[in-house]
Amino acid sequence: MRSLRGILAVSGHLAGRRAPANNAHLALFSRALQILAQQEPVRLQKLSAPDSGVVEMRLERPEARNAIGREMLQGLRSAIEKVKADATANVVLLASSVPKVFCAGADLKERRLMSPCEVREFVNSLRSTFLSFEALSIPTIAIVEGAAFGGGLELALSCDLRICGENATFSLPETGLAIIPGAGGTQRLPRIVGKSRAKELIFTGRRFDAVEAVTMGKKNHYDMYVFIAGVVNYCVPAGEAYKRALELAQEINQKGPLAIRMAKKAINQGMEVDLSAGLAVEEECYEQVLHTQDRLEGLAAFAEKRKPVYTGK
């Protein structure tokens, strides 16, 4: 956000440079105050004890239903970098402060004014930003109340877990605009719900509700339905998604932080290779926790029948 000093310097309202009080300068001064009153599109907040270690990342662009434009994208990148640099962060909750919407997708009004080259650059940046979010070493939980469309759903898919309220709706509508999901949707969705179902949802661009999002299943080789966690892990009554997500974050936050980081690394990297190579990844990650103070604390707490106090060392 621009500083008041920087804005007022333009209008000549700094001390010692007082400009004539005409309508143009008063209008500029009024605009400066409006700019300062605007919220940042992405807000980061660390929770206090007993939830120290839990970080909230909130989307706050109500006038555009959290549509992702250049400013929102920059806010996401900045927030991700701050989380990466914070050694005390253990879990990220990604939520919206805008009622009835998580994220409406790309800012199409802004997109219309871009050249093809600018669109390519923006989408590439969006894709890399979501990849950076997915690559965070700590667990991330998306909290979806209301609409998660296009890039908004792709952002949620880049999280480790997704919790939604029963009023949530989802879609990847890009083919209806003669484009394709370009921020990871064609890659993450089939990895989560299976290739055939992902093709259906992307080819048709249809909306689906919270119940379908959580109960999407796929057939195994015995021709029986096995219901897996679909697009979301849990569906709860409308308005209660944050509560459920915080409960999960609290559970995770009580575990050994290094173990959680290594577990995430082992799962993510292991899923991209065959079983033999995946087991080698697991071995490497286990080695990282074998000689830690936290492992010894866990054993001591078990023997003494008390809750462990982990320090991340």
Q: How far apart are CA 61 and CA 41, in angstroms?
A: 5
DSSP, residue by residue, 121-183: HHHHHHHHHHHHHHT-SS-EEEEE-SEEETHHHHHHHTSSEEEEETT-EEE--GGGGT----S
Q: Is 160:261 a contact under the CB 8 Å cutoff?
A: no
Predicted local confidence at residue 120, as pLDDT: 95
Closest CA to 86 of 129, 57, 119: 57
Residue owning tokens 């839990």: 54
Predicted local confidence at residue 230, as pLDDT: 86
Predicted local confidence at residue 4, as pLDDT: 44
Query: 294 is written with which tokens?
Result: 């936290």
Q: Which stretch of DSSP H or E encloses residue 301?
A: helix 293-303
Q: What is the pTM of this model?
A: 0.83
Q: How far apart are CA 63 and CA 71, in angstroms?
A: 13
Give whole-number Cα distances, 145 to 159, 205, 247, in Å: 15, 20, 17
| Domains in the chain, CATH or no CATH each | 38-254 (3.90.226.10), 256-312 (1.10.12.10)
Q: Is 222:129 a contact under the CB 8 Å cutoff?
A: no
Predicted local confidence at residue 229, as pLDDT: 58
Total number of residues shown for the chain: 313
Q: Determine the 3-state secondary structure of 35 from DSSP.
A: helix
Predicted local confidence at residue 32, as pLDDT: 45
Please name every residue paired with 209 in a beta bridge, in sequence order, or none if there are none: 169
pLDDT along the chain (313 residues), means of 10: 44 44 54 53 93 95 94 95 95 96 93 93 96 97 97 97 96 96 96 92 96 73 50 94 96 95 95 94 94 91 90 89
Return the active site residues. 106, 151, 154, 174
